[in-house]
Amino acid sequence: MISQKQIEEYQANGAICIRGAVQPAMVQTMLEQLDRHRASGGDPATAETRELAFSDRYLYRNHAWMRDFIFRAGIAEIAGRLMVSRTARVYFDHVFMRDGGTSATTPWHQDRPYWPFRGRQIASVWVALTPSDDNSSAVHFVRGSHRWEKVYKPQAFGTKAVWASDAIGEEIPDFWQDRQGHELLSWATEPGDVVVFGGDILHAAGRNAARDRRRAALSIRYLGDDVSWDPRSGTDPIITQDDVKIRPGELASGDENAFPLAWQLQDGPA
């Protein structure tokens, strides 16, 4: 499914689009499940509702339909092979739904500063469940920014991310206003396409200005071989030291319950 050329593109750019990665039937099932989940109000501890927008996360622990998708859709293998890792372990799932005309946006940020890990082999697989383009909240990336060796200060966006206010670091420039000579990557996607990106690349998403259609997507976060536990102040408390059996500095692979194995290379090089 993944070629050497695609691996090289991902490693160089920090993000890549893989077309038709998820079967249409599975996309439709997930969209129906998420519509029901949203209608129910979501999980109280994690769901967020803003103007014409809904998000929720860490659903696979409590919902069989999310577990089935994460472990059977084939996207863990995509993440593992692009990371050049022999394994891909689940961190968490994240749902994003934006109705037409919403003003909700996602500001520029990196993912890894929010998360209690160190390592390069961290990847998110963003699964398009509805069509998306520049006018309907497509995700944009600063090409190659994962290679800058910079860790920017996390922003506390969303009503339940107040924990990020304890973080330290350099403020992120607004690349919408000034690209500073850098190239922005984005893709128009159809249901079943996936965009895979690393934990260090800068990315953001604008409002869904397409009033006649919504943008629904699901992002699964995977951990590779080199990822170690690093519960710093100001990181996401969805999983804390109290929830894991490993100590700071130890590999995430040492706790199968907290970070379950979703894919493993059977033979040959990673």
Fold type of domain 4-252: Jelly Rolls (2.60.120)
Q: What six digits make up the tokens of 181?
A: 């000579």
Whole-model pTM: value is 0.93
Question: What is the length of the chain?
Answer: 270
pLDDT at position 156 is 67
The dihedral built from the CA positions of residue 36, 40, 41 and 47, taken in this order, carries a sign that is negative
DSSP codes, 39-92: HTT--TTT-EEETTEEEEE--TTT-HHHHHHHHHSSHHHHHHHHHT-SEEEEEE
Instruction: Please report the pLDDT score of residue 194 as a whole number.
Output: 98
Low-confidence stretches of the chain (pLDDT beneath 70): 156-168, 268-270
* Buried residues in 5-28 as b, exposed as e (16+ CB within 10 A): ebbeebbebbbbbbeebbeeebbe
- Token pair of 154 as six digits: 């996390």
Tokens of 217: 């997507």
Distance CA 207, CA 50 (A): 12
What's the rounded Cα separation, in Å, for the pair 73 and 194?
11
Contact present, 238 and 138 (Cβ < 8 Å): no
Tokens of 109: 């940020």
- Would you say 112 and 203 are in contact if contact means Cβ atoms under 8 Å apart? no
Helix (H) or strand (E) holding 233: none
Helix segments in the chain, DSSP class H? 4-13, 24-39, 64-72, 75-83
The percent of the chain in helix, strand and coil, each rounded to the nearest 5, is 25, 25, 50
Each domain of the chain, given as residue ranges in start order, spans 4-252
Q: DSSP character for 253? A: G
Residue 252 CA to residue 270 CA, distance in Å, equals: 18
The tokens of 201 are what?
Answer: 């690349």
Look at residue 157 in the predicted model and tell me its pLDDT. Answer: 67
Of 243, 238, 270, 237, residue with least CA distance to 255: 243
Residue-wise pLDDT for 149-196, tens only, equals 998 888 766 555 555 566 667 888 889 988 889 999 999 999 999 999
pLDDT in tens, 128-154: 999 999 888 889 999 999 999 998 888
End-to-end, the C-alpha distance of the chain in Å comes to 14
Residue with tokens 């890792």: 85
Amino acid identity for residue 206 in this structure: G
Instruction: Give the pLDDT score at 168.
Output: 67
